[in-house]
Amino acid sequence: MASLTSRLEHTVKPDALRAYLAELISTFLYVFAAVGSAMASRKMMPDAATDPSALVAVAVASAFAFSVAVYAAANISGGHVNPAVTFGMAVGRHISVPMAIFYWISQLVGSVLACLLLKVATVSQHVPVHGIPQEMTGFGASILEGVMTFTMVYTVYTAGDPRHGPLGAIGPLAIGFIVGANVLASGPFTGGSMNPAYSFGSALVGGSFKNHAVYWVGPLIGAALAGILYDYVVFPVQVPGIADGLGV
């Protein structure tokens, strides 16, 4: 019992609590911008579902918002802003499992709060929910989400690796670019989530969990594969990261 308590002590230290708050705030900022841009495009474009410019607007907003969210939290929590990223980091042993759980809670709460605020502030305008077209299977959608999350988490690993020298300074921008590119690539098929917290918040507030498993299974598997490939195959030498004091 004492051993278990000692292993959990690091999860309630001041630095850890600040990390949870940073993840909550950053996830809130990202989801607010991503969901808000989708709502705005539907408001301004009646045929937004078939208008390519609406997809571009959401992709650009997602890219910029994710870059800023990662940058804002990078030196505090590692700037995960996504349960899939946290899972990938846990697989690579960059963060402990107990802390990863608290990260997940913070990210989910941040996403729900962002969606709730948007719904209240826009006078109950419908909050868009991620979904897949009728002709597409859940398996195919999971593969797409998994591949996209793999590319994003692999980029996160690359951007945060101190062995890349000064390139780490543009890491958040690179991560944002891959998020935006993936939204453009898969928007009509899955909505380009790559983020279980994003999908959970919009599904809870939007009132629909149809095919919701797609946005957990695919991203988590893709993130785990990215962590394993990067840390154990491509770059197997472990190097301390920017938030080692937190176990990140």
Q: How far apart are CA 127 and CA 70, in angstroms?
A: 24
Give the domain CATH number at 52: 1.20.1080.10
Residue 247 has pLDDT above 50, yes or no: no
Over residues 88-120, the pLDDT tens digits come to 999 988 899 999 999 999 999 999 999 999 999
Tokens 């958040």 identify what position? 172
Q: What's the domain range around 214?
A: 11-238
Mean per-residue pLDDT for 207-224?
95
Q: What is the pLDDT of residue 165?
A: 62
Whether 108 and 173 have beta carbons less than 8 Å apart is answered as no
Q: What is the pLDDT of residue 11?
A: 78
| Assigned domain for 245 exists | no
| Assigned domain for 70 exists | yes
Mean per-residue pLDDT for 157-179?
80
Over residues 130-150, the pLDDT tens digits come to 999 888 999 999 999 999 999
Over residues 20-75, the pLDDT tens digits come to 999 999 999 999 999 999 898 877 776 655 667 888 889 999 999 999 999 999 88
| Assigned domain for 248 exists | no
Q: What is the pLDDT of residue 153?
A: 96
Report in angstroms the alpha-carbon separations of 227 from 1, 21, 47: 31, 24, 39
Total of domains in the chain: 1
| Assigned domain for 1 exists | no
Give 3's pLDDT tier (boundaries 50, 70, 90). Answer: low
In the chain, % helix, strand, coil (3-state, to 5) comes to 75, 0, 25
Q: What is the pLDDT of residue 18?
A: 95
- pTM equals 0.89
Tokens coding 28 = 């809130």
| Assigned domain for 247 exists | no
Tokens coding 31 = 């989801």
| Assigned domain for 243 exists | no
Residue 245 has pLDDT above 50, yes or no: no
Q: What is the pLDDT of residue 246?
A: 44
| Assigned domain for 193 exists | yes
Average of per-residue pLDDT values in the chain: 87
Q: How far apart are CA 160 and CA 154, in angstroms?
A: 10
Whether 89 and 100 have beta carbons less than 8 Å apart is answered as yes
